[in-house]
Amino acid sequence: MLKRTLLQSLALAALAPLAALAADKEVVIGVTAGPHAQIAEVAKRVAEKNGLKVKLVEFSDFIQPNAALAQGQLDANIYQHVPFLEAQNKDRGYKLVPVAPAVRQQMGVYSKKVKKLADLPEGARFGIPNDPTNGSRALLVLAEQKLIKLKDGAATRASVLDITDNPKKLKFIELEAAQLPRALGDLDAAAVNSSYAVAAGLSPTGDSLALENPNTPYVTVVIATRAGHEKDAGLQAFVKAYQSSEVKQFVDAQFKGAYTVAW
């Protein structure tokens, strides 16, 4: 009897920090609209079932979630891969760090005018993201598909200036990543991040003309926070909720391979 009482007391003590945290403060998580917001909603329900209050803040671009995180308006965000996070730290002076893997997503090439990349006409207008990291990501996809060649050593900071061979004389149109799906009618093709492709009703596995190599560092999206806050109790509780079987079941059923869990 004494042993059972002791075990019950220990169990209640283990839950006390989370209960206290939930009573004192909510965890604020930034996400981009679309799949990341949908997945985070499931994680929020799991977290709140376990006593943690969660507020989700949606953004429509790739710049503001990190600005809000760096300014302390968010406890974490979920939308970016590590190369983008590192580029933002370097270019904007942030001190953001990955906390845990979230989901995996591949950039795809989409078109409303051709059925395969080989059919792109000479001088085709090709859309790529205008942020340096995802722009270089798009160029690497095209290089892997043999549509262009990049100079030796071009990697996560490659730009159109690094193109050494462009046999189809593709004309690169740089737009905000979120605008690319809506611009497909005016372009011959575009490289689109999965978050925006899926939100626009496109299937990476069914509609894309090409997908990026799944082994690149761009594919895994991370949960990020400010340096020094990686071990915050609320954030760790949210990570546990995010990396739950309920979230995995939702991702598998909802996205059918367009997104997969990364943990």
Identify the residue whose tokens are 């990020």. Answer: 224
Identify the residue whose tokens are 């011959």. Answer: 188
What the block records as the tokens of 72 is 């302390």
Q: Which residues contact 22 (CB under 8 A, 6 or more apart)?
A: 51, 52, 53
CA distance 253 to 222: 21
Do 141 and 223 share a structural domain? Answer: no
**Given the DSSP bridges, would you call strands 108-110 and 210-211 parallel, antiparallel or unpaired?**
antiparallel
Residue 23: the pLDDT is 47
Do 225 and 158 share a structural domain? Answer: no
Do 100 and 224 share a structural domain? Answer: yes
Residue 140 CB: number of other CB atoms within 10 A? 22
Do 246 and 171 share a structural domain? Answer: no
Expressed as residue numbers, the domain containing 133 is: 108-211
Residue 212: the pLDDT is 93
Question: In which region does residue 117 sit, left (phi positive, over 0), alpha (psi from -120 to 50) or beta (all else)?
Answer: alpha
Q: What angle do CA 83, 88, 89 make, to 5 degrees?
A: 100
Supply the CATH number for residue 32's domain: 3.40.190.10
Residue 64: the pLDDT is 98
Residue 257: the pLDDT is 86
End of a domain among 190, 211, 232? 211
End of a domain among 174, 191, 211? 211
Mean pLDDT by 10 residues, the chain (263 residues): 38 43 76 96 97 97 97 98 95 98 96 96 97 93 96 84 97 96 97 92 94 92 98 98 98 92 96
Is-contact 223 242, C-beta < 8 A? yes
Do 159 and 123 share a structural domain? Answer: yes
pTM of the model: 0.80
Do 168 and 113 share a structural domain? Answer: yes
Do 224 and 191 share a structural domain? Answer: no
Cα–Cα distances (Å) from 176 to 4, 129, 140, 192, in that order, read 60, 5, 18, 10
Is-contact 212 18, C-beta < 8 A? no
Do 165 and 125 share a structural domain? Answer: yes
Residue 193: the pLDDT is 92
Q: Alpha-carbon torsion 35, 38, 40, 42, what sign?
A: negative
Domain count, the chain: 2
End of a domain among 193, 211, 229? 211
Question: In which region does residue 158 sit, left (phi positive, over 0), alpha (psi from -120 to 50) or beta (all else)?
Answer: beta
Total residues found in the chain within this entry = 263
Summary count for the chain: helices (H), strands (E) = 9, 13
Do 129 and 101 share a structural domain? Answer: no
DSSP 8-state secondary structure symbol assigned to residue 217: T
Is-contact 141 151, C-beta < 8 A? no
Do 184 and 55 share a structural domain? Answer: no
What the block records as the tokens of 40 is 């985070």
Do 170 and 149 share a structural domain? Answer: yes
Do 100 and 44 share a structural domain? Answer: yes
The β-bridge partners of 193 are none
Residue 195: the pLDDT is 87
